A and B are shown apart, each in its own frame.
Chain A
Amino acid sequence: MYPSDYRYTKEHEWIKVEGATGTVGITDYAQHALGDIVYVELPKPGAKLEMNQSFGTVESVKAVSEIYSPVSGEVTEVNAALATTPEKVNSDPHGSAWLIKMKLSHPKELDSLMDAAAYQAYIDEQQKEASA
Chain B
Amino acid sequence: MSTPATAQLRKTALNAVHRRMGAKMVNFGGWDMPVEYSGIIAEHLAVRTAAGLFDVSHMGEIEIRGPQALDLVQKVTCNNAAKLDSGQAQYSGLMTEMGTFVDDLLVHKFYDKHYFLCVNASNQDRDFEYLRAHNTFDAEVENSGHRYTQLAVQGPKAATLLQGFTQVPLDTVRYYHFSSGLVNGVDCYIARTGYTGEDGFELYFEPEHSEKMWTELLETGRGEGLLPCGLGARNTLRLEAALCLYGHEIDETTTAWEAGLGWICKLDKGDFLGREALLQQKAEGLQRVLVGFEMVDKMIARDGCPVIAGGREVGQVTSGSPAPFLKKNIGMAYVPVGLNEPGTEIRIGIRGREAAARVVKLPFYKRPK
Residues on A lying within 8 angstroms of B by beta carbon are 32-33, 35-36, 38-39, 41, 57, 59-62, 64, 126-127, 130-132
Contact A130 B1 (CB under 8 A): yes
Please classify the interface of chain A as helix (H, G, I), strand (E, B), loop, or mixed, using the class held by over half of its residues. mixed
Query: Given A36-B39, A131-B4 in contact, is the A64-B302 Cβ separation under 8 Å?
Result: yes
Q: Which residues of A contact B324 (CB under 8 A)?
A: 61
Indicate the member of A36, A39, A126, A132 with the most B CB atoms within 10 Å: A36
Contact B300 A38 (CB under 8 A): yes
Partner of A39, one of B42, B299, B351: B299
Whole-angstrom distance from the CB of B98 to the nearest CB of chain A? 32
Partner of A62, one of B1, B3, B4, B40: B40
Can you list 27 A-B pairs, Cβ within 8 angstroms, ordered by A? A32-B1, A35-B24, A35-B39, A35-B40, A35-B232, A36-B41, A36-B42, A38-B41, A38-B300, A38-B322, A39-B299, A41-B299, A59-B300, A60-B40, A61-B232, A61-B236, A62-B40, A62-B232, A62-B321, A64-B302, A64-B351, A126-B1, A127-B1, A130-B2, A130-B3, A131-B2, A131-B4
- Is B298 located at the chain interface by the 8 A CB criterion? yes
Whole-angstrom distance from the CB of B245 to the nearest CB of chain A? 14
Q: Which residues of A contact B2 (CB under 8 A)?
A: 130-131
Give the top 4 A-B pairs by smallest Cβ distance, nearest first.
Answer: A36-B41, A61-B40, A33-B1, A38-B322
Residues on B lying within 8 angstroms of A by beta carbon are 1-4, 24, 35-36, 39-42, 232, 236, 298-300, 302, 321-322, 324, 351
Query: Given A61-B236, A61-B324 in contact, is the A39-B300 Cβ separation under 8 Å?
Result: yes
Q: Which residues of A contact B321 (CB under 8 A)?
A: 61-62
Look across to chain A and name the residue whose beta carbon is closest to the beta carbon of B3: A130
A-B contact count (CB 8 A): 46
Q: Which residues of A contact B302 (CB under 8 A)?
A: 64
Whole-angstrom distance from the CB of A84 to the nearest CB of chain B? 11
Look across to chain A and name the residue whose beta carbon is closest to the beta carbon of B19: A131
Look across to chain A and name the residue whose beta carbon is closest to the beta carbon of B26: A62
Q: Which residues of B contact A60 (CB under 8 A)?
A: 40
Q: Which residues of B contact A131 (CB under 8 A)?
A: 2, 4
Contact A61 B4 (CB under 8 A): no
User: A36-B41, A61-B40 given. 8 additional CB < 8 A pairs?
Assistant: A35-B232, A41-B299, A60-B40, A61-B232, A62-B232, A127-B1, A130-B2, A131-B2
Contact A36 B1 (CB under 8 A): no
- Bound together, the chains give a CA A33 to CA B25 distance in angstroms of 11
Query: Given A35-B36, A35-B232 in contact, is the A61-B41 Cβ separation under 8 Å?
Result: yes
Look across to chain A and name the residue whose beta carbon is closest to the beta carbon of B42: A36
- Bound together, the chains give a CA A57 to CA B298 distance in angstroms of 13
Look across to chain B and name the residue whose beta carbon is closest to the beta carbon of A61: B40
- Bound together, the chains give a CA A97 to CA B322 distance in angstroms of 21
Look across to chain A and name the residue whose beta carbon is closest to the beta carbon of B41: A36
Q: Which residues of B contact A130 (CB under 8 A)?
A: 1-4
Q: Which residues of A contact B35 (CB under 8 A)?
A: 35, 62
Contact B298 A39 (CB under 8 A): yes
Q: Which residues of B contact A41 (CB under 8 A)?
A: 299
Indicate the member of A61, A62, A64, A132 with the most B CB atoms within 10 Å: A61
Whole-angstrom distance from the CB of B235 to the nearest CB of chain A? 8
- Bound together, the chains give a CA A61 to CA B324 distance in angstroms of 9
Contact B298 A132 (CB under 8 A): no
- Bound together, the chains give a CA A38 to CA B325 distance in angstroms of 13
Contact A132 B300 (CB under 8 A): no
